Structure 1
Amino acid sequence: MPALLDAAATADRLPFSLLADEIERLLGDATVQVPARLVQPLPGGGSLFVMPALDGRLAITKLITFTPANAGTARPAIQGDVVVFDAATGVRQLVLDGPTVTARRTAAVSLLAARRLAPQPAGPLLVVGAGAQAQAHVEAFTAGLGVRELRIVSRTRASAQALAGRARGLGLRVEVVDDADAALATCPLVVTATPASQVVLNGPCRPDAFIAAVGAFTPRMVELAPALCRALAAQGTVVLDTPDAVHEAGDLLQAGLDPAGFPTLRDIVLGHATRPGPVLFKSCGWAGWDLAAARCALREEP
């Protein structure tokens, strides 16, 4: 029988630095195929995501629901699974916890981007948001970049303090702050990981800033002020996680920018040059990242 992994077992198979390495390998793998994902609206404002991907060895499908109304409740906003098959035989090999894969592979993608693009990768780090994605990014940047100082901004003090406690457990010096824009003056490393229902960052940012914006992954979602996006495009570099983001990057689309003109993470891995100045890494998600997680999980099999 294939292994059916819960959240903890899935996390154990996906160490952040090794997952970032696997993502980098996947970007150079010519056998990878990723069809367009299906996003089906659900009653009540949620969405069902069906996300397949394959390479020369594996075929995976991530099947998850995203329910924004669950924010602030005991139910997670993201629920579901990643099912992993042997591509040649069709045999199911593994079932991974979908929310854990989503959080960890998203943070690992940001980690890879920061390795390649962040002028000051050691931070201090500012995280806007205090949910699962924020926690994953704190863990990933601590493990993979050596971050030791953290500022947290969240809509609720309790969630910010909870994340602060977990971060202190990792050995970080942590401060919960109220003004994200003011914190930009001392934080060259920034992650926005919110429900993306409103602008949470207006700027201005430092000239050596690296901003990973991961909360907005549909055209109508937004975390960054339009003026900030336009300033980052004019003064520095904007990088997309994949070409699919041209249709999904709400932050950029609502700023009147054409995402098709920006390089992708694959371009960066393959040697695309960037210019000096601040960097905006706009991440919208891709089933290829889930495939990389499946590959990593099988490599890490006990």
Structure 2
Amino acid sequence: MIPYLSKEQVSAALPYASLIPALRVAFTQEISAPKRHAHSLSEEDNSTLLLMPVWQKQGHLGIKLVTVAPHNRDLPSVHAVFVLFDAQSGAPLALMDGEELTLRRTAAASALASSFASRNDSQHLLLVGNGSLAPHIAVAHCHTRAISNITIWGRSAEKSAVAAAKIRQHPECPADIHIHITEDLPTACGQADMISCVTTSQTPIVLGQHVRSGTHLDLVGGFKPDMREVDDALMRRATVFVDTYAGAMAEAGDLTQTLENGSLMRSAIVAELAELCAGTHAGRQDSQDITVFKSVGTAIEDLCAANLAWESWQKAAS
């Protein structure tokens, strides 16, 4: 019977202080991560099944199985499991809670990208969205920038209050952080140094007219061509970084729609994480640039996180 690593075990094994630098190394390694398989389960409620395989010749292989159900009310919208195998023998090694693994690796990737794309002096983070990923995003960003203020906007003030409490209670959150809840999104956008959008919206929420020069935008939520978190006006002004060209340019509506309508030029998409981590692109070039990091998720991140969790489990079991 292979071991099962629970949410709590995965969480303990993946502190951001370890996961973010591990991801930086992983993006420079030879890891095969084919484009994920996405299957629509129901167009009526926009539910999806995702299959994400990944492998490294000298090491491990794995696959993450993910269901996305945006209509959920009392349950998270995302459920997932990750299965880790030995790459040489093909033998299964462990089954892991994929939801916690996904939350942490997604947040860590955003923080890693911010270390290249946001201004060094960024201190004010705006969270657009208040779901289960939002607190992780906030805490992870605190590990690469000296965030002192976090503002949360969401359609439900009650859910925003829950998200704020989770951030405050997070053991990796700075003790002196100031957290605010707002209903005035335009004003909040104009005051933020960094804006993380963590929604599954199909229409733009953050508008270019409200975003000041020098802001970094972290677009995490949209993972299909019909999803949008920012408008054409913002993308027209942006220098864009992506997690992977193959994934983001095929699946991210904030890119596919704006490339198609001409508000975003292909030349404005300047680097993917592998190039940033390898040092072949320096990241932000000007303090006044509006930068965008668009992620749709890559199994490279999953395997990196699963390897850390497996190592932690082995140490605990020995």
TM-score above 0.5, yes or no = yes
Corresponding position of 2:40: 41
Match of 2:300 among 288, 294, 298: 288
1:279 aligns with 2:291: yes
RMSD: 1.7
Shift of 1:161: 0.7
CA spacing shift, 1:227–1:248, aligned 2, 3 Å: same
Distance 2:184 2:84 in 1: 42
Tell me the amino acid that sits aligned with residue 127 of structure 1: L
CA spacing shift, 1:84–1:121, aligned 2, 3 Å: farther
Corresponding position of 1:80: 80
* Structure 1 residue ranges without an equivalent (≥5): none
Look up the SS of the partner of 1:63 in the other structure: strand
Shift of 1:76: 1.6
Give the TM-score, by structure 2 length. Answer: 0.87
Q: Percent identity?
A: 28
Distance 2:200 2:86 in 1: 35
Shift of 1:205: 2.0
Distance 1:144 1:299 in 2: 24
* Structure 2 residue ranges without an equivalent (≥5): none
Distance 1:47 1:168 in 2: 32
Deviations 1:10-30 (A, max 9, x none): 111111131111111111112
CA contact (8 A) 1:246 1:259 kept: no
What is the count of residue pairs matched by the alignment? 295
CA spacing shift, 1:258–1:249, aligned 2, 3 Å: farther
Shift of 1:187: 1.3
1:268 aligns with 2:271: no
Tell me the amino acid that sits aligned with residue 49 of structure 1: L
Distance 1:3 1:17 in 2: 25
Look up the SS of the partner of 2:130 in the other structure: coil
Distance 1:94 1:260 in 2: 42
Distance 2:212 2:2 in 1: 49
Shift of 1:60: 0.5
1:67 aligns with 2:73: no
CA spacing shift, 1:260–1:220, aligned 2, 3 Å: farther
Corresponding position of 2:237: 231
CA contact (8 A) 2:71 2:77 kept: yes
Residues 93-132 of structure 1: pairs in structure 2 closer than 5 A: 93-120=93-120, 122-132=122-132
Look up the SS of the partner of 1:99 in the other structure: helix
Tell me the amino acid that sits aligned with residue 202 of structure 1: L
Distance 1:151 1:230 in 2: 25
Match of 1:208 among 211, 214, 229: 214
Runs of 4+ residues deviating >6 angstroms: none
1:179 aligns with 2:179: no
Give the TM-score, by structure 1 length. Answer: 0.92
CA spacing shift, 1:245–1:98, aligned 2, 3 Å: same
Distance 2:309 2:212 in 1: 37
